[in-house]
Amino acid sequence: MVSGIQLTVRALREPLERAGFRKRAGEIFTIVLADDILGWLGLNYASHHREPGQIAVAPVIGVRHQAVERLVAELRQERFHEYVPPTISTRIGYVMPNHREMTWEFGGQYGTEAEADLIAAVVDHGIPFMRSLISLPRILEAINDGFCLYPDYRLPAVLAVMGRLIDARAAVALTLDKLGARNDPAAQQLRDFAIAFETKFPLR
């Protein structure tokens, strides 16, 4: 049986592809912004408290800087993924004029108006936001403004790719300092990342 989100992705795929996006796995779409930089769109959705087949879609938009993500994957000893996760991301409503959470209802009693409205939001607001983040200085700004899911990894990686190794080391040191005596798995992963960073970028 085809789910509500599958039907919605099918409905949105063609207009998103006309806008320049490429369909990826699941509910993810990407668009090439520049060499090694992807615009990123994820169709987050919820179906709770709705009739069967009805869903609410809350798009997440962002950018993925491949050089930064290659470095993060290397230092975390992970396989580099072609398009997951985004380096910078936010809900699309927060880059629209009202700066608030936005959802679009699909399925059941809802008609096709939501499709055109969501596509217009992506084209008119999402893509310009993505294009504003092509440069590394702007990505750095966005990380410092809170538009990054895992800044402890990506802040030093961005600084390193920019050639700002002193600042990158300072960011790593600050993260380690904030960990204190924590010994949970997430803390250990950050310590492993710090060791890998110092090995790759030793003090000269």
Q: Which range among 88-102, 105-119, 135-149 shows the weakest confidence by mean pLDDT?
A: 105-119
Q: Residue 135 above 80 pLDDT?
A: yes
Q: Which pLDDT score, from 0 to 100, does residue 24 have?
A: 98
Who has greater pLDDT, 150 or 203?
150
Q: Which pLDDT score, from 0 to 100, does residue 110 have?
A: 61
Q: Residue 109 above 90 pLDDT?
A: no
* Span 14-69, pLDDT tens digits: 999 999 999 999 999 999 999 999 999 999 998 876 677 789 999 999 999 999 99
* Span 140-164, pLDDT tens digits: 999 999 999 999 999 999 999 999 9
Stretch 86-97: mean pLDDT, rounded?
97
Cβ atoms of residues 189 and 76 within 8 Å: yes
Who has greater pLDDT, 22 or 5?
22
How far apart (Å, rounded) are the C-alpha atoms in residues 83 and 22?
11
Kindly list the domain boundaries of the chain, sorted by start residue.
4-144, 151-200
Stretch 177-203: mean pLDDT, rounded?
97
pTM above 0.85, yes or no: yes
How far apart (Å, rounded) are the C-alpha atoms in residues 37 and 60?
17
How far apart (Å, rounded) are the C-alpha atoms in residues 125 and 202?
42
